Each structure stands twice: as structure tokens, then as C-alpha cells.
Amino acid sequence: MTPLLVNALLVLAAGVGLATTTIPNEPEGPTRMMIAKAAAAESHPYVGMWVTADNHVRHNLLPNDRYDEARGNRESAYRGRYEVTGNYIEYWDDTGFTADGTFVDADTLHHGGMILRRRP
């Protein structure tokens, strides 16, 4: 498999824009997935878990530009896609609901009147 074809597959698997990773030895399985996730994470620095101080609301920003939000004991209360432009995030829930927020610094997200912090 050529490096160009591997890059094209990474783009499709990760669901992101242009990947620039060249894979000389054509890794298989989990290694390929780790590379795809790393390429997706490079698109913005906010991938990961974001939580309110009381841990009631938890946003998991996935590297494939999808999110999974939990509320209280309800895991996956909302799921959908998101897009980050600079420090601004827009959410499109799978049910049609939309929302947005602002990353005020590397570890703080203001969203819907809530303050979420990056979970280490």
C-alpha cells in the first residue's frame, strides 16, 4: 500500500481534513487507529473530556469531530458532531438541537451558561 493511499484511508477513518502523516512500514490494527486519532487531535487542541465543577455535565470531545455528552447518571444523554474554529465550538446534536461555546483558555470552556474544565 502506498503512503498516499494510507493517508487517504486515515482521512476517511478519522473523519477529518487532510492528514499529513506518512507511514513507511504500513502498520496494521491498533497502531493504524492510534495514528488516525493523533492526526485528528492535531486539528484542534480541545479533544478530550470537559466537566462541570459538580461533574454533572460531561462533554467528551472525540477526535473524529463527534461528541458524547453525559448528564448526571445519564450516559450519552446527547450525541452529535462538533466543529472548532479558533476558540469557538459549535455543536449539532443528532436530534437536531444546536449549541455553541467558547474556549476562554486551554482548560476552560464556557457553554450554555456553564463552565466546563478539561479533565486531565
pLDDT in tens, 45-57: 999 999 999 999 9
**What are the DSSP calls for 23-75, one per residue?**
-TT---THHHHHHHHHHHHTT-TT-EEEEETTS-EEEEE-TTSEEEEEETTEE
State residue 35 phi and psi, 5-degree precision.
-65, -40
Reported confidence tier of residue 38, pLDDT bands at 50, 70, 90:
low
Indicate if 53 and 106 belong to the same structural domain. yes
**Domain limits at 20?**
3-41
The number of distinct structural domains making up the chain is: 2
**Same domain (yes/no): 63, 29:** no
CA distance 89 to 111: 9
Same domain, yes or no, for 56 and 75? yes
Residues in the chain, overall count: 120
pLDDT digits (tens, 9 = 90+) for 55-106: 999 999 999 999 999 999 999 999 999 999 999 999 999 999 999 999 999 9
Q: Are residues 11 and 59 in the same domain?
A: no
Task: Return the pLDDT at 98.
Answer: 97
DSSP bridge partners of 66:
81
